[in-house]
Amino acid sequence: MRRPGLPVPRQWHASRWGIGVVLVCLIAGLLLGTARSYSAGEDISNRSVDLSAVVNQAEQRVSGADAFAAKLQDQIDAAAAGDRSPQVAQVLERASGLQAAAGLTPVQGPGLRVTLSDAPRDADGNYPAGVDPDDLVVHQQDVQAVVNAMWAGGAEAMMIMDQRVLTTSAVRCIGNTLLLQGRTYSPPFVVTAIGDADAMVAALDDQPGVRLYRQYVDKFQLVYDVTPVDNVTLPAYDGPIRLSAAKQAGG
């Protein structure tokens, strides 16, 4: 055993260097063989992932799974309807009274509609030269800021695009495409809420994320349109209720 602090013999340096060279050659050969196997002899330098195609394929799978789940739920409901104990019937009756609060029934009334969209392009479909493209599109945080403000302003029910959403619904963006509950949307993005329009407008004006977005609206001509609506009908939420546990406030 070599003592700590003593110089390493030159012979050991040479031996270790030789072993390292052999290992590097073996790893390089393995990588080249793997690349050739993957490419089947073809050039792979130009291969890239089409993100929009991946999202579309995932959306199709989600739609198919939703349809299958709905079919199974219909079968379960049909089977349960024919044989209910008094206790089950009592629980179902109590649960039906909570559907409106949970967003599981359609809602109609006055409210507010907010539309967000990217900056306009030129006649050739291009953005202005010398500007960061990220400054010219609606981002996830922009949509989320509007949603948060409208909830804070007392929204009783809300819809993004054509889907009813809850306070637990997640807003996601891939590029300038909105991903919501397994479906994708292109701008303009429309958020509609039922409630006191004046209170929601005030909440939008006070929301820091919305104020930041409006600076880009002024500078780069992104779209920010706020319109009161006298009467609008929002559909029932028909997605999965992901919240699996809850605790009473203060309990």
SS3 per residue for 50-70: CHHHHHHHHHHHHHHHHHHHH
Residue 223 included in any domain: yes
C-alpha 104/C-alpha 91 separation (Å) is 17
Question: What is the per-residue pLDDT across 169-213, written as a single tens digit (0 to 9) for each?
Answer: 888 888 778 988 888 899 999 999 999 999 999 999 999 999 999
Q: Where are the beta strands (DSSP E) in the chain?
A: 107-117, 157-160, 163-165, 172-174, 177-180, 183-185, 189-194, 223-234
Do 55 and 37 share a structural domain?
A: no
C-alpha 168/C-alpha 206 separation (Å) is 22
Do 56 and 34 share a structural domain?
A: no
Cα 75 to Cα 64, 68, 80, 82: the distances in Å are 17, 11, 9, 11
Do 89 and 175 share a structural domain?
A: no
Question: What is the per-residue pLDDT across 215-244, written as a single tens digit (0 to 9) for each?
Answer: 999 999 999 999 999 999 999 887 766 555
Residue 124 included in any domain: yes
Q: How confident is the model at residue 11 (pLDDT cuts 50, 70, 90)?
A: very low
CB 237 within 8 A of CB 158: no
Residue 193 included in any domain: yes
Q: How confident is the model at residue 27 (pLDDT cuts 50, 70, 90)?
A: low
Q: Average pLDDT of 64-74?
A: 66
Domain count, the chain: 3
* CB atoms closer than 10 angstroms to residue 82: 6
Q: How confident is the model at residue 105 (pLDDT cuts 50, 70, 90)?
A: confident
Q: What was the pLDDT predicted at 5?
A: 41
Residue with tokens 């909440």: 203
Please give the residue that has the higher pLDDT: either 58 or 22: 58
pTM over 0.75: no
Residue 163 included in any domain: yes
Do 123 and 26 share a structural domain?
A: no
Q: Average pLDDT of 139-155?
A: 96
Do 163 and 90 share a structural domain?
A: no
Q: Which domain holds residue 139?
A: 107-234
Q: Average pLDDT of 3-26?
A: 48
Residue 71 included in any domain: yes
